[in-house]
């Protein structure tokens, strides 16, 4: 399967055949975040049943082979910051702003309207 053909959770599982169950779960949970919303690494970890694995979630998303289908730019730190290298953080911030997510002083405004 080609990356361009990935459109559903089933497609993600097929594309990631041979990857770990943890990685697949992270990418599927991230795939579910709608445009205009964000989640945190910790919330993704909780959603997949691994509440103490937020750093592992971040490391997994760092290797995202399915961007933009799996919108890893919608996952932020627990305080709304964009983690990772400055250049990448700037690009991710630009994408969420374009999607309508409020950002103030370089951080996503985290509230019930923005969190998924």
SS (H, E, C) the chain: CCHHHCCCHHHHHHHCCCCCHHHHHHHHHHHCCCCCCEEEHHHHHHHCCCCCCHHHHHHHHHCCCCCCCCCHHHEECCCCCCCCCHHHHHHHHHHHHHCCCCEECCEECCCCCCEC
Note if 77 is an active site residue.
no
Annotated catalytic residue, options 38, 45, 58, 72 = 72
Q: Which residues are catalytic?
A: 72
């Amino acid at each position: 399967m080609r990356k361009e053909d990935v459109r559903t959770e089933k497609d993600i599982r097929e594309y990631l055949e041979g990857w770990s169950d943890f990685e697949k779960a992270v990418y599927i949970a991230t795939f579910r975040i709608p445009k205009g919303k964000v989640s945190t690494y910790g919330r993704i970890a909780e959603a997949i049943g691994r509440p103490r694995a937020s750093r592992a979630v971040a490391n997994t998303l760092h290797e995202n082979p399915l961007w933009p289908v799996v919108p890893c730019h919608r996952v932020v730190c627990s305080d709304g910051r964009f983690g990772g290298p400055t250049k990448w953080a700037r690009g991710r911030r630009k994408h969420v702003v374009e999607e309508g997510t409020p950002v103030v002083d370089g951080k996503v405004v985290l509230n019930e309207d923005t969190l998924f």
